[in-house]
Structures are given as structure tokens and as C-alpha cells.
């Protein structure tokens, strides 16, 4: 049971990271290098919206 809970927590963190990365990051979304201001989109499109809620229902 403990392993299943940790797997669910990891899934939710991953889904939230992917959602945030698509909104905010233009480059380096896999964090292969330290983040810089050049990696951030100049104009943010979209919104956080229901991303966390959807991640928990899947």
C-alpha cells in the first residue's frame, strides 16, 4: 500500500510539472541545464486552471 501511495504522489508531481512547464518554459523543459531567464516564455499563454484537479482524477 505504501508503494502505491508513493507512486500516485510521484504521478501527480510529474503531471503538475509537465503542466507548469508547458505554460512557463520555452526551452530546457527537461532541466538538462540550470534554468535561465532565456528559458522562460516572454508571453505566457494558457492558465493553470484545472491541471492539478485533473491530475488527481486520472
Q: Give 11-22 pLDDT, tens digit per residue.
A: 888 888 888 888
- The H-or-E segment that residue 20 falls in is helix 2-24
The predicted structure's pLDDT at residue 38:
94
pLDDT at 57 over 80: no
Global pTM value: 0.68
Q: How far apart are CA 39 and CA 1, in angstroms?
A: 39
Is residue 33 predicted with pLDDT exceeding 70?
Answer: yes
Q: How far apart are CA 48 and CA 29, in angstroms?
A: 17
Residue 23: what pLDDT? Answer: 85
Amino acid at each position: 500500500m505504501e508503494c502505491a501511495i508513493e507512486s500516485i504522489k510521484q504521478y501527480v508531481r510529474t503531471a503538475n510539472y509537465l503542466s507548469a512547464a508547458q505554460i512557463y518554459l520555452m526551452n530546457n523543459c527537461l532541466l538538462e541545464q540550470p534554468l535561465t531567464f532565456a528559458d522562460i516564455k516572454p508571453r505566457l499563454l494558457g492558465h493553470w486552471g484545472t491541471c492539478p484537479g485533473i491530475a488527481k482524477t486520472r
